[in-house]
Structure 1
Amino acid sequence: MMEFLPLLLFVGAIFVLLLGYSVAFALAGTGLLFAAIGAYTGHFDSVFLEAIPNRLFGIMNNEVLIAVPLFVFMGVMLEKSRIAEELLDTMALLFGPMRGGLGISVTLVGMLLAASTGIVGATVVTMGLLSLPTMLRRGYDPSIAAGTICASGTLGQIIPPSIVLVLLGDVISSAYQQSQLDRGIFSPDTVTVGDLFLGALIPGLMLVGAYILYIVFKAITKPELVPAIPAEERDAVNNLGSRVLKALVPPVLLVGLVLGSILGGLATPTEAASVGAVGAIVLSMARKSFSLNVLREVMRSTTQVSSMVFVILIGASIFSLVFRGYGGDDMVRDFLTELPGGVVGAMLLVMLVIFLLGFFLDFIEITFVVIPIVAPILLNMGLDPVWLGVMFALNLQTSFLTPPFGFALFYLRGVAPDSISTMQIYRGVIPFIAIQLIALALLAYWPSLATWLPDLVYG
């Protein structure tokens, strides 16, 4: 019976989550309950509970994680500065003559917002409010319009600077150090957030290209589903070139400043995030949309999102300590190493489990609960940490699109008109989920898609 306790602990946490309880308190509560039962029956070592204060202090003292509230602040401030609205209007006019041009413009704006905000909810809601009515009015198929907006909004998960890459960078770094110690290797080498940023750049751009190719394919095969903007409407616009420069240059400069300082080794991710936060304030002032009320709203939203992330991290840390106290990590390691197919079989199973969990759990819970358990085992099997981190990030991106609990679907459903049904939104995202899985397979087959750029930059 005792060997099944780690599995019961995990199943118990999933059950409590499905009952609708808060993620952080469900994880912490389930862990503490099983720890209390185990301590009472003499099957659990209380040393693991004594490690909780040190673990929590380590979380709150982690300099890398300070980048999370700073990047959130940057994203929310840029949202309030109406940069997305201007980008969408300008790009729609630029690509308007093409069939599918509106869909392509939404994808490109999603890429730019991903690189400048990295907040999926804000991107999906903003594009849903601004682009969806326009696409429907121009005759776009509702499913294609909804799927394009949802998928483009999730690009913030993989295109740096991404909050999920910051969180994964911390988790993968700890897992890499643990795997080195497990093999008796005492090395100062580690995996940085900058490594993951570089590793995710090519797969992220590849995903953008695949989305655009899908829209072009639809424009060729079924042009009536993705019509062009009428010529008379395009001709009524003056000074398109200056509008494009005005809309594109500020966010591109800000992204270049933030990413360039990280990738060039001039600043840590935390320092670059602070530069981005200040830059977002400057952009907001330049657009004359900055005020004390706006600052108050941005700080309130930043506090809410950051508190959610850190409370979940605390709950997940308690859960993982109890899981290890019951020998759960040993059970998982033995199971994965004994699978047929060796490291390939283990990697396939882990990626399948993460994909299936994405139907029910958010990327934060998976990042803090599942990945710290499986990552050291996979790294001990000889996998590259940067490639592994990017694979996780690309897989976690699908959790925003997979029904029934994909958050991007909820965000769009909340702002979509009643004329669009939930099933139309679900049907619209299925091709984009397939594209993400194909991208995942390509990355698995060619790991150099993630490792080439970090090796080139850092040698």
Structure 2
Amino acid sequence: MEFEAVLAIAMFLTAIGALLMGFPVALTLGGVALIFALIGIAFGVFPESFLLAFPSRIEGGSIMQSQTLIAVPLFVIMGVILERSRVAEDLLAIASRLLSRVRGGLGYAVVLVGTLLAASTGIVGATVITMTLIALPSMLRQGYDPRLATGTIAASGTLGQIIPPSIVLILLADAISNAASQASLRTGGGSAVVSVGDLFAGALIPGLILVALYLLWITVMAFLRPQACPPARLESDTPALTFREVALGLGAPLALIVAVLGSILGGIAPPTEAAAIGAGGAILLAGLRLAREAESRLTPVMLLGLASLVLILLLRNLLDLRAGSATHTGAEAAGMAITVLACLALFAAVGAGLLVLRRARQLQPALKSAVHITSMVFLILIGASLFSLVFRGFDGDELVAGLLAAIPGGKWGALAMAMLVMFVLGFFLDFIEIVFVVVPLVAPPLILMGFDPIWLGILMALNLQTSFLTPPFGFALFYLRGAAPPSVTTMQIWQGALPFIGLQLLLILIVATVPSLATWLPSIAAR
């Protein structure tokens, strides 16, 4: 084995070992890469020009100039604001009361609310902890089997990995797009682009199938073990739900999700602009939620803003509102004028929402949390870029491609091995490290073998989601254990997760067997 290959393998193992020991991810990736680069330069096996070109690569390459990554802070702000304004509490309370007379209704409510939170926040840890604190005590009081209750909450919390808009899918889209471009350039086919919208569209059908499988499992449990998920017992003095409560508590978050995903899938707005819609809508929803508690006079302004947002999207979809167009019909001119007025109303409503959040002392903590998460993501991305650069400088990408090609079973054996490695690493590493370190190494050779990039990205996302739920190291189980009451044992949490792990493995098998589940919707959206 050549010395460069030895250094590449040693660098990868050193980085994994340092991460498992708990060292900071970004500094570990960048520091290990820098140390091995200096070793390579000292022995004359690593070109010094690679390091000299790194700053310009960050500033003018695929990081600072990436339109895809601009959506990350906007979706993070959307998720953090919805989390801190306790929208999840309203969602669960309303859904559980609507399904109170149904056996297993509280379990259905948890899955449905987990789906909505996944589509609203895309942050797994926050969703699991929030659902555990809100739903688990109620499920235990109602007589639910702790195994079924904890398994339902943990599985529903991990939906943020696969239900768009997901931070995982955004970062995975950037990694898969770079891998597809590398594969295309190697074959002389030019540059290939996999957009965030492609992965969002590709993940939608598998994500909804997974939700249906969760609901089906609760239905089966309701028939086979009715004592494990009894109907909810409401207090006699519990007031009936009003239309206003359902519309604002359940309908408004659903409308925001439809607006964000619909604008992407319908071609109305690219993901970055759709993320801005989501952030603005989240501010409005959070402002409305807090304004109701404080009986603020700004509520009508924010309701007008929500209506204006819907109106803007409708007009954009129905009329040609481009100012640079040579000719406009009377309807289009009127639509442009109405859109300008609606935009002004929307800006005023967002300002009112920010004011309400500030008065409730939620704005500054939410923005600090968003800055912290965004900074962490981009610092890891810079460290991972240096790691990938040095690894390729040692011809590590060629080494990985050769290893995958040598695995028995052809391309399917290579895919199985890559998925197994990602699954095991998902026990110990966060999805960000895996997406930035492992995916750039294994995705290009797999795409060269003939696998569709979108389909491959969805399989990887489902794989990471499954590892997040698998005992004994699944991150979702750690989150749940930390927030669950002491009466719930760790073994009960592990046992509760097993059926849902089986459902996720079944979905991976289905998507692997029927690739059109992941590729059909992106092909329709691209037309």
- TM-score bucket (shorter structure): over 0.9
**Residues 1:402 and 2:481 aligned together:** no
Q: CA deviation at 1:340?
A: 2.5
Q: CA deviation at 1:7?
A: 1.7
Cα contact 2:26–2:384 (8 A) shared by 1: yes
Alpha-carbon separation, structure 2, partners of 1:404 and 1:69: 32
What does 1:349-388 align with in structure 2 at a 5 Å threshold?
Answer: 349-388=417-456
Cα contact 2:20–2:429 (8 A) shared by 1: no
Q: CA deviation at 1:212?
A: 1.1
Q: CA deviation at 1:242?
A: 5.1
**Residues 1:150 and 2:154 aligned together:** yes
Alpha-carbon separation, structure 1, partners of 2:124 and 2:509: 23
Q: CA deviation at 1:329?
A: 0.5
Q: Which residue of 2 aligns with 1:208?
A: 211
Q: Which residue of 2 aligns with 1:21?
A: 23
The equivalent position to 2:274 in structure 1, one of 269, 272, 285, is: 272
TM-score by length of 1: 0.96
Q: CA deviation at 1:17?
A: 1.2
The equivalent position to 2:56 in structure 1, one of 54, 57, 61, is: 54
What is the SS of the residue equivalent to 1:359? Answer: helix
Cα deviations by residue, 1:6-41 (Å, 9 ceiling, x for unpaired) = 222111111111211111111111111111222112
Instruction: Give me the CA root mean square deviation.
Output: 1.7
Letter in 2 for 1:209: A
Gaps of 5+ in 2: 292-355
Alpha-carbon separation, structure 1, partners of 2:163 and 2:508: 15
Query: Which one is further off, 296-305 or 4-13?
Result: 4-13
Alpha-carbon separation, structure 1, partners of 2:471 and 2:57: 34
Q: Which residue of 1 aligns with 2:223?
A: 220
Query: Which one is further off, 215-224 or 447-456?
Result: 215-224
What does 1:191-202 align with in structure 2 at a 5 Å threshold?
Answer: 191-202=194-205
In structure 2, relative to structure 1, the CA distance for the partners of 1:366 and 1:429 (3 Å cut) is: same
Cα contact 1:358–1:402 (8 A) shared by 2: no
Q: Which residue of 2 aligns with 1:260?
A: 262
Q: Which residue of 2 aligns with 1:88?
A: 92
Cα deviations by residue, 1:228-258 (Å, 9 ceiling, x for unpaired) = 113x637844136654333221011111111
Alpha-carbon separation, structure 2, partners of 1:54 and 1:131: 49
> Structure 1 vs Structure 2: percent identity of aligned residues?
57
Cα contact 1:128–1:149 (8 A) shared by 2: yes
Q: CA deviation at 1:287?
A: 2.1
What is the SS of the residue equivalent to 1:427? Answer: helix
Letter in 2 for 1:428: G
What is the SS of the residue equivalent to 2:427? Answer: coil
Q: CA deviation at 1:357?
A: 1.0
Letter in 2 for 1:387: W
Q: Which residue of 2 aligns with 1:390?
A: 458
Cα contact 2:173–2:194 (8 A) shared by 1: yes
Query: Which one is further off, 238-247 or 199-208?
Result: 238-247
Q: CA deviation at 1:266?
A: 1.9
Q: CA deviation at 1:423?
A: 2.5
Letter in 2 for 1:198: A
Q: Which residue of 2 aligns with 1:124?
A: 128
Cα deviations by residue, 1:67-90 (Å, 9 ceiling, x for unpaired) = 111101001111122211111011
Cα contact 1:64–1:170 (8 A) shared by 2: yes
What does 1:64-143 align with in structure 2 at a 5 Å threshold?
Answer: 64-143=68-147
**Residues 1:423 and 2:491 aligned together:** yes
Cα deviations by residue, 1:266-306 (Å, 9 ceiling, x for unpaired) = 21211111111111111122223532121101100101111
Q: Which residue of 1 aligns with 2:168?
A: 164
**Residues 1:344 and 2:347 aligned together:** no
Cα contact 2:177–2:194 (8 A) shared by 1: yes
What is the SS of the residue equivalent to 2:184? Answer: helix
Larger Rg: 2
What is the SS of the residue equivalent to 1:42? Answer: coil
Cα contact 1:351–1:395 (8 A) shared by 2: yes
Q: CA deviation at 1:456?
A: 2.1
TM-score by length of 2: 0.84
Cα contact 1:362–1:399 (8 A) shared by 2: no
Q: CA deviation at 1:347?
A: 1.0
Query: Which one is further off, 205-214 or 219-228?
Result: 219-228
Aligned length: 457
Cα contact 2:221–2:228 (8 A) shared by 1: yes
Letter in 1 for 2:248: K
